[in-house]
Amino acid sequence: MTGHHAWPHVFEPGSTDEPVLLLLHGTGGSESDLLPLAARLAPQAGVLSPRGPVQENGMNRWFRRIEEGVFDVDDVIRRAGELAAFLAWARRTYGIDGRQVIAVGFSNGANIALAAALLHPEALDGVVAFSGMYPLEGRTVDANLSATDVALFNGDTDPMAPLASVEQLAAVLESRGARLTRSVRGGGHGVHSSDITGAAAWLVERSRRVAS
């Protein structure tokens, strides 16, 4: 596939005084998966929703993994760069350069959003990560995340995003200066109604703070 414009994606401009939500689906999803979620989180926001460029047994993903829970970290790093480049292309193409861009990712999509924020903090203003974990195991991060807002929503018995990895993620984000909000609920992998309520409230509060 050549050129970032060739990534299949959905773009809806939304209200120009609202942020653009960069929607990043989970394994096996598509660019339409998280559109209903976006409508519940911030109905007036713009939407940019690409399809993951990596294939695993016919399923769309954002980066390769060696096995479940073990990421190909070199590929994570490369794909995070590709996502940042896609976003830069979309900002120019759709004239959204002046707007806040908040990544909203689930599972594999949350992990690539977090990797992009950690490695390319200029690309994103914030991240809402549902069932995400630390995506850069074994690597150090030296980026300045003081302009980045991150909200983590996790289940306390999630075998695919273990709390130990979430704790590591939180520690790295805070050590790099990110403004971090965390929510841990009972249960496993997924996006629960309490997560959606919490994320919607976080987006409203963040918009108020940025505007003031």
**Which of 4, 25, 49, 107 is flagged as catalytic?**
107
Closest listed residue to residue 125, CA positions, set 179, 161, 89, 196: 179
- Cα–Cα distance measured from residue 86 to residue 74, given in angstroms and rounded to the nearest whole number: 19
Count of alpha carbons within 13 Å of 196, Cβ hemisphere only?
13
Instruction: Please pick, among 9, 120, 189, 192, the residue that the annotation labels catalytic.
Output: 189
Rounded to an integer, what distance in angstroms lies between the CA atom of residue 115 and that of residue 15?
Answer: 28
CA dihedral 138→143→146→151, nearest 10 degrees, is -40
Q: Is 77 exposed, middle or buried (0-12, 13-18, 19+ CB in 10 A)?
A: middle
Note whether 88 and 22 are within 8 A (CB). Answer: no
Please identify which of the residues 125, 149, 158, 195 carries the catalytic annotation: 158
Residue 195 designated active-site: no
Active site residue 158: yes
Q: Is 189 a catalytic residue?
A: yes
Letter for the amino acid at 84? A
Sequence-distant (≥ 6) Cβ neighbours of residue 56 within 8 angstroms: 27, 64, 65
Q: Which residues are identified as catalytic?
A: 107, 158, 189
